[in-house]
Chain A
Amino acid sequence: MIAMESEFGIPTVAVHVQVFGALVESVARARGMPRARQAFVPVPMFNQPPAVLRGYVEGDDPVHGGPFMERVFDLLTRPLSDEDLRGSGWDRSTPRLLEPDTEENLHELFRENHWTDYLPIVLPTEERVEAMLAGTSHAPDEIVGKTRPTIGMEFWTYDVEKVAVNAVMAGAAPEHFPVLLALASSGDTGRQSSMSSMGNMIVVNGPIRNEIGMNFGIGAMGPYNYANSAIGRAFGLQSQNLQGGSVPGLTYNGSQGNNFSYNCVTYAENEEASPWVPYHVQYGFEPSESAVTVFYVWGNVWAEHLREHWEEKLKAMLVGLEPSMGCTFVLDPIVAREFVQKGFDTKEKLAEWVHENARIPAGRYWDHIMLNMIREVVEAGIEPFASYRKAPPDELIPIFETNRINVIVAGGQTNGHFSIFMGSPMRAKFRSMPGPTVSVDAWR
């Protein structure tokens, strides 16, 4: 609505649900229009019948008080001040160094400013940051990328030194730094503000895994390895601080939050024990190259071995997931070999099996927020979604397309266990930077 007002000269009232009062005010200030015309209605909006929605129209604005429609009329007809007509620009550049203070006070300052995950951090002194910078050949002032909490919010940029500051805070070591720079270059965020509370999963491939001692064996996804732990935490901290925050109600709006966000489920693929090509090789890298991939995941389901009824069980695990969001299999090498024994000699064949066999009725497929996510694709007639949209409600259609089905091998072969995560790398339409699999070697 900012563009409608400023570029097209249309007086416009933007209507939001009440929980976004602080967020909307913050965004308007950041766009140089602090008193943009805003009105609010109650939550929830989703799944409410017409009578409830009519009640919202005829009721009060829960943020400002008073009848909603009176506010709409007032916003469109009340004369504006010269300042409103002009807008308000302001300088919010931040100093490189903070005011000197005691260790105790600085820890308190970092917590108050929402710069931590509320666990103790390592204070980023100049000496420590300089030591971290030794982990790359890149100059401290080289711009690495840009990111933001979610679509519609502004991009913040960052250089190599800013990434190093956050790496120090997380307790990372200089040898981890190329992986963190690669993650920063991806434009992905470990603090996505989606109301759905998506978390992340980070998978590292290539020689860097062994060089920095990452765990891809027993307990790969657990708290049992310095590199896994530090890289995952650092990605979260660098995301929230480099993107302009991750503060509930302001720059974070996940309704329930996600415990994955503490460590971003960071591990390496067990390439040595995998019967298939590594994940990064599927996306154009050589096995001798190192790369890292960011997935956006909501949760996972667990199972063990491919027993007699494995097909029925696998389908049952998949069809309860939300359509189109994608899925990521994380298989212990024992299970990966069981799939090979059943004829899946490539990861792609497993993805194709999922696509063909995990199906749900079209009516349920479209009874989901995803219609909003891909509506323009449907309306443009792009397949297969256009055909899915035309399908009768009881026709069974694939829950996932093959390009949203991922397979990773990780685990220490203590038994044949595996997890299926709901989620995949970020869709191309939402990406601001190249990816989702990015080179680590480029940041050495």
Chain B
Amino acid sequence: MATAVGQKLTVLNPEGYPPKVDATGMAPALETLQGKRLFLVDVGFENSNNFMAQLQGWFAEHEPGIRTEVVRMRDQHQPDPELYGRIAAEGDAAIIGVGT
């Protein structure tokens, strides 16, 4: 299909269909972390456990009023609603990682 110089063509969009983006609200912030219980969630990627151990050590040294507990996701490739439920019931906030 040869086209003359300047002639305009109509072509189709090659992209697939993205899912609709629904609004997803964040959890309200805490007023303070003092006296709170913070879960440090190891997602299971290599060395994430050691990073969380260092993070826990930092809290113990610098912020002893913040209680921390390191937990690990059952499978790094799948959501872990059982763990999330436990954190919601027993904790106030979380740090999760390390995404690599």
**Contacts from A to B (Cβ < 8 Å):** 1-17, 20, 24, 29-33, 35-37, 41, 43, 45-48, 50, 53-54, 56-58, 69, 72-73, 75-80, 84-98, 100-103, 106, 110, 115, 123-129, 151-152, 154-159, 161-162, 165-166, 169, 195, 237, 241-244, 369, 371-372, 375-376, 429-430
Contact = CB atoms under 8 A, between A and B. Distances in A.
A306 B95 CA distance: 55
B96 A33 contact: no
Contacts of B99: 14-17, 20, 24
13 contacts: A13-B93, A16-B97, A29-B21, A45-B46, A57-B51, A57-B58, A69-B62, A84-B26, A97-B13, A100-B8, A126-B10, A151-B77, A429-B77
B17 A123 contact: no
Contacts of A127: 1
B17 A50 contact: no
B66 to A, nearest CB: 10
Contacts of A50: 50, 53-54
B100 A12 contact: no
Nearest to A38: B99
A36 B9 contact: no
Given A12-B96, A78-B29, A243-B16, 4 more contacts: A15-B97, A57-B55, A76-B93, A91-B20
B19 A155 contact: yes
Contacts of A15: 51, 95-99
Contacts of A195: 100
A85 B100 contact: no
Contact of B11 (A9, A17, A124): A124
Given A4-B84, A6-B24, A12-B93, A242 B16 contact: yes
B98 A17 contact: yes
B12 A5 contact: no
B55 A115 contact: no
Most buried by B among A2, A76, A91, A96: A76
